[in-house]
């Protein structure tokens, strides 16, 4: 296997072949085709690049279409690898070398290319989240406003944002309804009380592994698996960390609804509170169990059944 590290920035691509040539730099997007040709000429090649706010997507798609395997790695993982080597200097060329070395040492799995429908859904879901964030900010601003003109401006902006969110909801519904790839999983997820179209679409975008891995793996990906904090005879308090923040936020909102309107989860929530669990920890536990159920539903092409135990044997 020939490992190639590519450091992607807004304007350049720095390419390094592990144990081979020096780093070559290509201008982006003018020399994207040259970069693809240069990388694809190597046999048995796999490319490693960081996720860089979608600047890496044109190169990833072009290489994948050429049959070149690519791994898009988490920048935090690349940073941890740098620290493990005791490296402190940072340039684009150094980053490309480190990514090539990371591939050779850790052999990350190739990242699959998403379908056109999935990419469109991701764009719409991302834009909706951006608008909801702005809407929340405007609501918070209104609470501290006093000048009538400022408050009227705030109300107008809130109205515009709400209108745009409704339009995006309609576009998401239209896209998922006509897509054979998206319609069925969206329908199955929504059979669980507490999971609506927004949460279902968000989970498919931010957690594409849903329904393909075990319950422990899916909980870890979402950041809902408690980690041990033990050393010697000390037994620390278990806590969740890392994972994907958008997924955790979606599941927390679903847990709020399920703890009130889903009889099975409402009973579980009441039992957790009766056992002394704080409300937030109880909701996190509900979110994790909800995720396990959703994972099993997609894995087995099933739907929600109230009579079935909450924890599926997966």
120 and 80 in a single domain? The answer is no
Kindly state whether residues 6 and 94 are assigned to the same domain: yes
141: left (phi over 0), alpha (psi -120 to 50) or beta: alpha
Q: 50 lies in a domain?
A: yes
Q: List pLDDT tens digits, range 86-114.
A: 888 888 889 999 999 999 999 998 988 88
Query: Last residue of some domain: 67, 83, 106?
Result: 106
**Shared domain check, 251 and 159:** no
Total domains in the chain come to: 3
Residue 168: domain span:
116-178
User: In this structure, is residue 99 part of a structural domain?
Assistant: yes
Rounded to two decimals, the pTM is 0.78
State which of 149, 178, 207 marks the end of a domain: 178
Does 203 lie in the same domain as 152?
no
Query: How remote is the C-alpha of 290 from its chain's centroid?
Result: 17
Express each pLDDT in 139-185 by its tens digit.
999 888 778 889 999 999 999 999 999 999 999 999 998 888 888 99
What's the CATH code of the domain at 86?
3.30.420.140
- One domain, residues 173 and 204: no
Listed in sequence order, the residues at least 6 apart from 304 whose beta carbon sits closer than 8 Å to its beta carbon are 191, 192, 193, 293, 297
């Amino acid at each position: 296997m020939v490992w190639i590290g590519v450091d992607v920035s807004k304007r350049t691509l720095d390419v390094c072949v592990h144990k081979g040539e020096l780093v070559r730099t290509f201008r982006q997007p003018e020399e994207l085709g040259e970069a693809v040709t240069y990388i694809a000429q190597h046999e048995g090649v796999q490319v490693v690049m960081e996720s860089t706010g979608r600047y890496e997507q044109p190169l990833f798609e072009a290489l994948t279409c050429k049959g070149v395997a690519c791994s898009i790695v988490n920048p935090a993982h690349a940073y941890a690898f740098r620290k493990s080597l005791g490296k402190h200097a940072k340039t684009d060329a150094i980053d490309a070398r480190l990514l090539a070395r990371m591939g050779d040492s850790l052999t990350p799995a190739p990242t699959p290319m998403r379908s056109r429908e999935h990419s469109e859904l991701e764009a719409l879901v991302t834009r909706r989240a951006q608008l909801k964030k702005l809407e929340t900010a405007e609501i918070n601003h209104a609470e501290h406003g006093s000048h009538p003109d400022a408050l009227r401006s705030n109300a107008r902006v809130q109205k515009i944002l709400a209108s745009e969110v409704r339009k995006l909801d309609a576009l998401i519904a239209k896209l998922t309804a006509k897509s054979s790839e998206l319609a069925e999983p969206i329908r199955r997820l929504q059979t669980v009380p507490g999971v609506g179209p927004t949460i279902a679409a968000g989970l498919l975008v931010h957690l594409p592994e849903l329904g393909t891995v075990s319950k422990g793996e899916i909980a870890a990906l979402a950041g809902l698996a408690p980690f041990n904090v033990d050393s010697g005879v000390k037994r620390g308090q278990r806590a969740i960390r890392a994972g994907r923040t958008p997924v955790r936020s979606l599941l927390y909102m679903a847990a709020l609804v399920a703890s009130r309107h889903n009889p099975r989860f409402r009973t579980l929530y009441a039992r957790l509170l009766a056992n002394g669990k704080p409300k937030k920890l109880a909701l996190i536990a509900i979110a994790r169990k909800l995720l396990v159920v959703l994972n099993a539903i997609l894995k087995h092409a099933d739907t929600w059944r109230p009579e079935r135990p909450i924890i599926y044997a997966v």
